[in-house]
Copies of this chain bind each other. A is one copy, B any other.
């Protein structure tokens, strides 16, 4: 049986078609990873990457110099060797169509010096430090001239687009506001109150509740575009990571760790992306993190309509994640 579900407040739809989970290509884990024997993100290979722009070590934030790389680090932030955008982009050739130069920043956040490390095995100190690094690096690039939006995300697993196995996140700072945010803000501004505040409150004790702590809640959203999609929302209205205290940052990290852990227990070695949705200059926006596991393929229908066919109702996903089945 299928349902067409409307997004909580946008004019977007998805089809929840649980009958389709019986197809030959039903959700399964990634599992075709190859381990590199000489990973440039590992401790000891610092000279194989560009100099670090920020190094977290023993409670300090340092920088590599041109001729020396800092060793024994906790988190290491480096420019992406194949950047999508760069600060010294050339002016493009003129064209009949509209074009801007590829100005921006593309950074890799190596979350941990150890190749075998997994984010859901992080200690409390490690997960807090990672969230602090996220906040620092987003704030750093958000303040750069000409930057309108800083995209922070993690690709885990080849099927989720990770070209290297060693655990890392990425940050791409861009000189324009993505139109999905513009549209979302247009809608939010027409409403009497924050729709995400409503979602956090309404889903907090429903069948789609996955995990929660003092400051955040993890839910499988009613509007789930992909199987096992999870959203992490602050209970209190905050628009951007810069508005979080360390205590709130730890709560956020705790929710990410718990969500990824539950996903991994349910589907071992699952590939996933998580993305931070936030707007620094729009106080009406409500910070949220969306975790999108990769168990299915975006095919012709989605590319034609923008409407995703999801074979896993979120209510069933939560039963699996909480061992209720």
Using CB atoms and an 8 Å cutoff, list the residues of chain A in contact with chain B.
Answer: 1-6, 8, 10-13, 15-17, 19-20, 22-25, 82-86, 89-90, 92, 95-103, 149, 151-155, 158-164, 170, 172, 174-176, 178-183, 202, 206, 222-223, 273-277, 290, 292, 297-301, 303-307, 309
B4-A101 in contact (CB<8A): yes
Cβ distance A80 to chain B, nearest Cβ, rounded Å? 9
Option from B4, B98, B99, B277 in Cβ contact (under 8 Å) with A176:
B4
Distance (whole angstroms) from the CB of A161 to the closest CB of chain B: 3
Copies of this chain present in the complex amount to 2
Q: Is the CB of B300 within 8 A of A155?
A: yes
| Closest CB in chain B relative to A302 CB, distance in Å | 9
Q: Give me 17 A-to-B residue pairs in the complex whose CB atoms sit less than 8 angstroms apart, sorted by A's number.
A: A1-B102, A2-B83, A3-B92, A3-B99, A4-B176, A5-B97, A5-B99, A13-B176, A17-B102, A19-B82, A24-B164, A25-B158, A153-B304, A155-B300, A160-B299, A180-B306, A275-B300
Evaluate contact between B299 and A155: CB separation under 8 angstroms: yes
Contacts of A102 in B (CB 8 A): 1-4, 15-17
Q: Is the CB of B178 within 8 A of A307?
A: yes
Closest to A180 in B: B306
With both beta carbons as reference points, the residue of chain B lying nearest to A97 in the complex is identified as B222
Question: Min CB distance, A4 to chain B, in Å?
Answer: 5
Contact indicator B300/A274 (Cβ below 8 Å): yes
Residues of B within 8 A of A179 (CB): 10-13, 306
Docked pose: A8 CA to B155 CA in angstroms: 30
| Nearest neighbor of A5 in chain B, beta-carbon distance | B99
- Given A96-B202, A305-B178, also A85-B2 (CB < 8 A): yes
Q: Are B100 and A4 in contact (CB under 8 A)?
A: yes
What chain B residues lie within 8 Å of A100 (beta carbons)? 3-4, 6
Cross-chain contact A163 with B306 (CB below 8 angstroms):
no
Provide the bound-state CA to CA distance between A303 and B151, in Å.
10
Given A3-B92, A149-B305, the answer on whether A161 and B298 have CB atoms closer than 8 Å is: yes
